[in-house]
Chains A and B, each alone.
Chain A
């Protein structure tokens, strides 16, 4: 398997391109007419970008949870679902 250096060598340009795509998309939103003030999706995107900037080994896992609805362990009681055996 490849070393960190080898992976960076092979993926650097792809990562650069993805960053540019992300930046250009945000610029496009800013340039357009209308307001998105208070739109929760922009806050989620900002939080996702902050996760990427962190030095953690499980950024993809964290971003998945950021964009996920919470799980309520008591959901069966709320749905009146009987436990079956």
Chain B
């Protein structure tokens, strides 16, 4: 065991750069940006999400979208990190259909901002009719404006049911390019359905409620690394913004090749994001 950790530590000395494709930096401190940079993070993407309370009006979302498109890119740039974002009304607040429609009307105003990659993180929370209606309307917006899509799948006991419902709704749209859609927060019981249907999948490394680094590595070993990304989803709740380096460490301990690790933590998210007109990121090795 000591030899394995020593080996992984030696590898860490030659730090691997990576992308965190899902992290909520509006909820994190500037110190976290510095820590991410020190750990090798070169780019992040920040989907719009639930702030921990329900906002009272569409103007609350307008302010949030300004924060995502103007403020966070500057905070990230101070530490050499590229900041990208996704816009939507999240699944939890989508229960309020009128508010959701007001926000949906406003989103196109922001789609030309230089760091916007697409519509997200849309999805389901408690798998209700209202959430499903607003999910469909987000899909229609994404198709109309030729946007990529990032999808949140529900938590815990609702995940399997909600993921299947989401796949059903996605299948309704034959004009949707599946290679431009990422279904996030997959775990052992949902990953294959997402990958087999031709979508990208994201694994979230959460301390208790989602994947641990060890289980994420297990999934990579059983499903493969094609169209699979990994993220911290660091936010205002129990989460760890440096969870992606934890996976790098876990995979090194197991003896995975450096090229395969890099594929999961850098090449894959870059390949997925490259389909957005606003994404530009060179490989640090080529600089």
Contacts and interface: CB of A to CB of B under 8 A. Distances in A.
Interface of A: 1-2, 9-10, 58, 60-61, 64-65, 67-72, 75-76, 79-81, 83-85
A70 B140 CA distance: 28
B173 A61 contact: no
Interface size class of B (residues with CB under 8 A): 20 to 34
A62 to B, nearest CB: 9
Contacts of B187: 64
A65 B132 contact: no
A67 B160 CA distance: 9
A80 B174 CA distance: 21
A81 B4 contact: no
Chain B interface helix/strand/loop/mixed: helix
A67 B157 CA distance: 6
Given A60-B188, A64-B187, A69 B165 contact: no
A60 B1 contact: no
Interface of B: 1, 4, 127, 129, 132-133, 136, 140, 156-161, 164-165, 168, 172-174, 187-189, 215, 218, 221, 254-256
Nearest to A80: B129
Chain A interface helix/strand/loop/mixed: loop
B189 A61 contact: yes
B161 A1 contact: no
A84 B189 contact: no
A76 to B, nearest CB: 7
Contacts of A1: 221, 254-256
A84 B4 contact: no
Contact of B172 (A2, A61, A83): A83
A68 B168 contact: no
Contacts of A81: 129, 132-133, 136
Contacts of B133: 81
B194 to A, nearest CB: 14
5 contacts: A10-B1, A10-B4, A69-B157, A69-B161, A84-B140
A84 B156 contact: no
